[in-house]
Amino acid sequence: MKIDVRKLIEKNLVSIIYIATSLIYLYFAAFGISSDMTNRALLISLLCPTVLLTKHLKLKGKEVKPLIILDYLIALAFLASGIYIMVVFPVRILKVGATPVMDIVMGAIMVVCVLEVTRRTTGKFMSILSICFIIYAFIGPIMPGMLGHRGETFKRLMTFMYVSTEGVFGVPAGIAATYIMAFVIFGAFLEEFGTGQWFVDFAYSTTGRFRGGPAKTAVIASALMGMISGSSAANVVTTGTFTIPLMKRTGYKGHEAGAVEAVASTGGMFTPPIMGAGAFIMAEYVGISYGKVALAATFPAFLYFVSILLAVDALAVKHNLKGLPATELPSIGKIMKERGLLALPIFVLIGLIIYGFSPMKSAVYSLLSVLVVASFNKETRPNLKKILNALENGSKSIASIICTCACAGIIVGVLSITGLGAKLSYTMISIAHGNIYLGALITALITILLGCGMPAAAVYVVLASILAPSLVEMGAEPLAAHMFIFFFSCIGTITPPVAITSYTAAAIAEADATKTGWTAFFMGIVAFIIPFIFLTSPALILIGNTTDIVIALITATVGVFCLVACIEGYLFMSFRIIPRVLLGIAAICTLIPGLVTDLIGIGCLIVAVIINLAFRSKPQGIGQ
């Protein structure tokens, strides 16, 4: 068998870079001794070129040689421009006068390389959008109305993008190099040492015996996996390969199985404590602690997953599905006895953050606790190979996110240097005439549109500085405004016509992608409603006095139950058309804050149940 020496060398080189990157940034997280520019430029210089090498490791044939050569050139250019800025930046921040030509050249190289590597990893949309913003920076004098500006020279734009912490090395890259790196590596250790599989087994053993058990397993497992995953599509691939075939085997249609997994995996993106990368970015923008952000997202995430569980239960009733026999299910007692300790690092993480440790140090200490608890089980016991795999997978998982953050930095940089961000904010307020509901609707549509083609974190980073201030100006709480944008950034991936997460699940389910996408959209409809509630009634994200918070939590829960019953036609009993209409009214009224609307909603709910019971021909219980 002929050995491809080039691929062997590249594979080992890629592994070494990934492992070294994880070790370096764990060290930075624990001890924090690095300047912002070094921290960000080093990460981009290490991971962005490595993504290219990783991508073409699977290529075959002589025809790929030109592409490989191009990849080498881009990688070297990345490395050269990254090292250059790390060396000269300490001098540049003290320098007064003309910008050296080499700075401009290296800046242009860095920007071009970032655009290309983002195109390769995230897709064309992000790169094209960034190019449009760069062009806009040059043509300001000929732009009409509020879009007009003085126009930027190539020299000034490249200096701003490269020789500052405003553009490529801006806030998005800074968050990636600190919070995201630490937590993604922590998640990789959880996965490598069995916590991910324990999540699935735990969910399977606790829900499998109920009707529609595999679907409920998918919901719970995806919620748990979402806490340590930074991508809804990756979450689908991780848990969906197990849960989707099982759902189909027990009676769910292919598009239903795919939709269940898609909406559950998407919910993982805003499920505390990790929330993908959103919690860390939001904490940075809003200027509050990470713990407060995670706590604020708790109840909205709870309502979302409750609604999905109710929806899959209704589907199980419609299809007359039964639970799996006990012989096919893992024993909950055995799972907890043999591997229950694997969940402990999650509680260590939460405890350290509550105690007051920084998020990065909490992630590092929690990572060490993973190694400790894994040592108690022979199957998960740490060894050098597993540790190296976890370190490699950690950096590999975040590599594409780094590319996206660097590219998002270009967009944010243009918004800043041209003043477009502030202009768009004022324009939205003007269009909405100061009405927060209309402003929120416009914000939601823009966010979903971008979310169809960009990762959630990138969408949030771009829009947080444009639209969040507008919502705050119209009366929203800052945290509620940012949480609103982040929620819609996440659910863009299950919103047709471009529902990436739904289509990924459809591929595994071997189902029609469009049908899966629309089924997921309706199944996850609560996620489109809840943000409007907490934007205008922040008690839902635990802002306000205790009485208001308790009332908001109770009425929102009732509203979600009524909404699912209206859409699915089942909640503990089958509902006829007229009661379903009343339940829809009850859902709207109880979800809208206010004593009068709450009373109307409760009244509609009672009338709906009475009418339904009066005309029901056959009683139905909750069942198993």
The pLDDT of residue 196: 72
The pLDDT of residue 205: 76
Query: Does residue 404 contact residue 226 with C-beta atoms inside 8 Å?
Result: no
pLDDT confidence bin for 104, thresholds 50/70/90: very high
The pLDDT of residue 311: 84
Which of 109-113, 140-144, 305-309 reaches the highest mean pLDDT? 109-113
pLDDT confidence bin for 58, thresholds 50/70/90: low
- The residue-averaged pLDDT of 87-97 equals 80
Q: Where would I find the H helices in 211-343? A: 213-226, 232-249, 254-267, 278-286, 290-296, 298-318, 332-339
Query: Does residue 493 contact residue 226 with C-beta atoms inside 8 Å?
Result: no
State pLDDT tens for residues 1-14.
456 676 777 788 88
State pLDDT tens for residues 394-444.
888 888 778 888 888 888 888 888 888 777 777 777 787 778 888 888 888
Query: Does residue 532 contact residue 440 with C-beta atoms inside 8 Å?
Result: yes
pLDDT higher than threshold 50 for residue 624: no
The number of domains in the chain is 2
Q: Of 152, 177, 196, which residue constitutes the final position of a domain?
A: 152
Residue 19, in any domain of the structure: no
Residue 117, in any domain of the structure: yes
Q: Of 115, 136, 152, which residue constitutes the final position of a domain?
A: 152
Nearest residue to 445 (alpha-carbon basis) of 495, 479, 404: 495
Q: Percent of the chain having pLDDT more than 70? A: 91
Residue 175, in any domain of the structure: no
pLDDT higher than threshold 50 for residue 226: yes
- The residue-averaged pLDDT of 187-191 equals 83
pLDDT confidence bin for 580, thresholds 50/70/90: confident
Residue 136, in any domain of the structure: yes
Beta strands per DSSP E along 457-499:
none
For all residues of the chain together, what is the average pLDDT?
82
Q: How far is CA 354 from CA 32, 277, 292, 523, 544, in A?
A: 20, 19, 9, 34, 20
Q: Of 134, 152, 170, which residue constitutes the final position of a domain?
A: 152
The residue segments making up the domain with residue 563 are 555-624
The pLDDT of residue 2: 57
State pLDDT tens for residues 17-47.
999 999 999 999 888 777 888 899 999 999 9
State pLDDT tens for residues 349-369.
878 877 778 778 888 898 999
- The residue-averaged pLDDT of 215-235 equals 71
Residue 179, in any domain of the structure: no
- The residue-averaged pLDDT of 449-466 equals 75
pLDDT higher than threshold 60 for residue 619: no
Question: Whole-model pTM?
Answer: 0.76
The pLDDT of residue 122: 75
The pLDDT of residue 473: 86
